Amino acid sequence: MNNENNNASLTIAPTTGKIIHFFSKRFIYFAFSLTIMIIGLITLATEGVQLDIQFKGGAMLKYTYTGDISADDADNVASEILGRPVSSNITEDMRTGDKRLVLNIAGNYGVDAKDQVKFDDALKAKFPDNKLELSESSMVEPFFGHKFLTNGVIAIVLSFSLVLVYVWIRFKKIGGLSAGFMAIVALVHDVLVVFFTCVVFRIPIGDSFVAVALSIIGYSVNDTIVIYDRIRENHDLHPKLEVDTLTDLSISQSITRSLNTNFAVFLSVTLVYVMAHINSIDSIQSFALPMAIGSVSGCYSTICIAGPLWVMWQKHKAKKAEVRR
């Protein structure tokens, strides 16, 4: 296809539809993505990443209370009684106004019933006027946490591999391996955006992250396949069209569909996030916020990253083939 394009003495422009020139602005898009990655890496280096107890093991205790409580004082009580690192934070149910003290207890084991009673008594003695009541507790052994983390990573890597093979086979006509590889670059971009969203907003990395990553991979690769499909069709319709114009034309023809689809996803998960935030449902919030941002990233990477990168690969291949002659 590239040889045909390079040998063409005349560029045949399509007669219908407006072409948006994405390829000529590719370095602006690349710089924008690079900036997001740098901000994410800086935040990761300075703030670190929070692993949910599902992945690292340990215990999480949630208390409801009234009045005001110092999270640092609660940390000190827990560390003194349990002899383990404890981090706590305070949340508030926007709908009911209920306040919650959430304690994350690190360690290679949970909290046995005897220690939990001892800690409960000490906490209530420290804050006697705040009507503390244990509302929820979770315990995960580190062995299972490590297993969940490993299986989550395997699921994401396996999905990348299957996408690469699928695109490689299905789009052989437009250079299947290059199309598959650039689709993977876009997917890695999207998963990193989701990961850095969790880092920046201090959302613990747990099973919700794996669910969001796999969902975004599905949405993003679907958009990419639609554009590759259109490139393949337009290649047959306009065989002498330059590869960058061909790609810009195909993206321009598909962009409305991509935007509408992803806007619908973004709107729905944003509403879910708002309702979860109002009702203080942490597990839903940790899914909905990364999902909303990931859906925007998936649309952006399909249009501004995968297509222009594929064109660069094709042009590079054509140039190398010309040098060999």
- pLDDT tens readout for residues 207-238: 888 889 989 998 888 888 999 999 999 988 88
Render pLDDT for 28-80 as a digit per residue (tens, 0 to 9).
999 999 999 999 999 999 988 887 776 777 777 888 888 888 877 887 888 78
More reliable by pLDDT, 251 or 52: 251
Q: Which residue has the higher pLDDT, 316 or 84?
A: 316
Read off the pLDDT band of 27 (50, 70, 90): very high
CA 52 to chain centre: 16
Domain 23-50+144-320: CATH class, spelled out: mainly alpha
Q: Is the pLDDT confidence value at 17 over 50? A: yes
Amino acid (one-letter) located at 129 = D
- Looking at every residue in the chain, the average pLDDT score rounds to 84
Amino acid letter, 173: K
- Exposure string of 74-88, with b = 16+ CB inside 10 Å and e = fewer, is bbebbeebbebebeb
Q: Write down the domain spans for the chain.
A: 23-50+144-320, 58-140
CATH fold of 58-140, please?
Alpha-Beta Plaits (3.30.70)
Is the separation of the CB atoms in 81 and 115 below 8 Å?
Answer: yes
Whole-model pTM: value is 0.76
Residue 55: CB atoms within 10 Å: 24
- Using CB atoms within 10 A of its CB, is residue 160 exposed (0-12), middle (13-18) or buried (19+)? middle
